[in-house]
Structure 1
């Protein structure tokens, strides 16, 4: 029931960070991976997927471009024959005091973290409906979508992630008739490249993140593997409209 071999999964933001890790995880279990990212070419880490099971292909596209993204997802469906899963993982964060957030900060954060999730899920779900195959969609929320993460100053990010959780529930309700499941994951503090750049040389900030959860440590991205494989596989066939917290006890 935990088999994902042969499933084609679309992952946005897959050139780095959690998106890349989700690609690596599912490729290891034999899934076909279609990564969409803004970078003009894939990272060396993505190229290493070629040694794992399944077929893997990189597509350059702007996830905030509704029509351009649809065209890319149409191409993916043609290239792979079907789309069975989707993880809209592209995201940005502005760590800036609320009163200093510019219009550009707000607009860009919501465009990538919320609007693009809507676009990606809509386009992939349309393919799943057309195929009459059902599918699984995993949105990426955050512990910030459950409570304030003060003293971090991430108001636009928090607003976008609350939006993702609300979107997940409504999309799940509307897509259930097509056997398309929509869930979200709320990760805690993960040691991604982005976080590493934030805490390098700042032990006080590292300690802040570590002390924010009952396990008193920052997680490895691999600690999301279990929930990702579960939600993408038939083992979770009766799970939809739910948010799964993997946060070391923050909440």
Structure 2
């Protein structure tokens, strides 16, 4: 029997203040009864999201400030949640930098480090401080947001972004192996382009370019935040209790064939 009820589960979603996948996922988890911590670096953005929620969802919504690339801030964040809730059931490592689309000879060392520190190091730090609590309670779900850039490269980002997203996959598999005996499931989702504010930032994509991209996707459309959020609910629920160490593509079939082989008329 399918049961996606997350009543009372304590969830931390990093990078959840941008109005995209993290934000939408938090709202969906709240609607299923979870207690959700929306993480971000700016108080006003998190407060704006919580203020916009329906009254019945606000009661279980929490904002928490931390730069996930900084060890001390992550530790403080996890300690605060644990102190208030006495448990952390679900961690969704969503925070990412998503810097400029520069080629290898153009990207600076600091831009490279920013990609790695937020996306990969941030996922490591959050996992490092959350997992001991999950081990004690003999239960937990850790989910990473990777990208098909880890498998195919990408025209819209840079080597730092692709490398960080690839590193997440190795982190996921090793953690899944180490934590299986503690009843902790660790998985990754691998979205392609999702129609969120991040991909339109600084004019990187617009409606016309997204429409062109959709023509090369077998399902014929760009992914939406809810497409990712729905999979995250599945992986966070006990329905997926026998799944660990996996990467699950959310790309409308985009990895099935090169774009030059599109059969669409």
TM-score w.r.t. the length of structure 2 is 0.88
Give 1:1-251 correspondences, 5 Å limit.
Answer: 1-16=3-18, 17-41=20-44, 42-49=46-53, 51-53=55-57, 55-94=60-99, 95-130=101-136, 132-149=137-154, 151-197=155-201, 198-200=204-206, 203=208, 205-251=209-255
Structure 2 runs not aligned, ≥5 long: 256-265
Distance 1:87 1:208, change over 3 A: same
Distance 2:49 2:139 in 1: 30
Measured against aligned partners, the alpha-carbon deviations of 1:34-54 in whole angstroms (never above 9, x if no partner) come to 122111332422333462446
The question of whether the paired residues in 2 share the 8 Å contact of 1:50 and 1:56 is answered with: no
| Residue 28 (structure 1) shift | 1.3
Q: Please report how far the alpha carbon of residue 142 of structure 1 lies from its aligned counterpart in structure 2 after TM superposition.
A: 0.7
Whether the 8 Å CA contact 2:40–2:64 is kept in 1: the answer is yes
2: distance between equivalents of 1:50 and 1:89?
23
Runs of 4+ in 1 over 3 A off after TM superposition: none
Q: What are the ranges of 5 or more consecutive residues in structure 1 without an aligned counterpart? A: none
Q: Is the 8 A contact 2:21 2:229 kept in 1?
A: no
Taking only aligned residues, the RMSD between alpha carbons, in angstroms, comes to 1.7
- Secondary structure (helix, strand or coil) at the match of 1:229 reads helix
The normalised TM-score by structure 1 is 0.92
Given that residues 98 and 157 in structure 2 are in contact (C-alpha distance below 8 angstroms), is that contact kept between their aligned partners in structure 1? no
Q: Is the 8 A contact 1:10 1:85 kept in 2?
A: yes
* Aligned partners of 1:27 and 1:52 also within 8 Å: no
Q: How many residues align?
A: 247
